[in-house]
Amino acid sequence: MAGRPREFDKQQALRKAMRLFWEHGYEGTSMSALVSALGIASARIYAAFGSKQQLFEEAVALYESAEGGFADRALALPDIHQALTQMFEDAISTYTRADEPRGCLVVSAASGVAPDNLAVQQWLSGHRRQRTESIVERLRQAREQGQLPADTQVEALGHFYATFLHGISVQARDGVPAHDLREASRQALTLLPNTQG
């Protein structure tokens, strides 16, 4: 057994990598930083995950199933007003936590990249578009269920709320306090039509 490399916990390593990418972005996270944080040699990182990009994609999947999964959970709530209110509240709580990097990993990890990393940027862009589509679809469903007036422009409203959601991430990363983001969220939600009104 002499010389055999120590076993490592792949999920634990993935969580450490996720935090690094979340805090420093894709390009800002070097292989040497990953080696240091994960406590294993770069050759073992490549053996376990394939490449830095594949490690990043697995880290994003972990983020979306945990910290970043709040939007899917909120949008599953039966009432559209409750769903959007919860989505924004959870975004603000997640993006301004003192013990985690600020903002959203998917929004901030590759906003600007070198030409070699355009594929990463485009991959993340696809994830953000999926979020927009999920909000539009949830609004469409609410309109069909009579929770929103029949003439509600769900496409425009969905794009607005997705833009606002992604903007919360940018503002949180810039240090805007949670209280101010909650006030802005309350204003944004006044645009949601009410069938009683």
Element (H, E) at 186: helix 178-189
The pLDDT of residue 117 = 78
Provide the CA 106 distance to its chain's centre, in angstroms: 4
Indicate if 34 and 73 belong to the same structural domain.
Answer: no
φ and ψ of 138, to 5 deg: -65, -40
What are the contacts of 37-46 at 24+ separation with CB within 8 A? 38/8, 38/13, 39/8, 40/5, 40/8, 40/13, 41/5, 44/5, 44/8, 45/13
Q: How many domains does the chain have?
A: 2
Indicate if 118 and 26 belong to the same structural domain.
Answer: no
All residue ranges of the chain with pLDDT < 70 are: 1-8, 113, 195-197
Indicate if 39 and 112 belong to the same structural domain.
Answer: no
The pLDDT of residue 6 = 53
The pLDDT of residue 8 = 67
The pLDDT of residue 1 = 43
Structural domain boundaries, residue 177: 66-189
Does the residue 4 lie in any domain? no
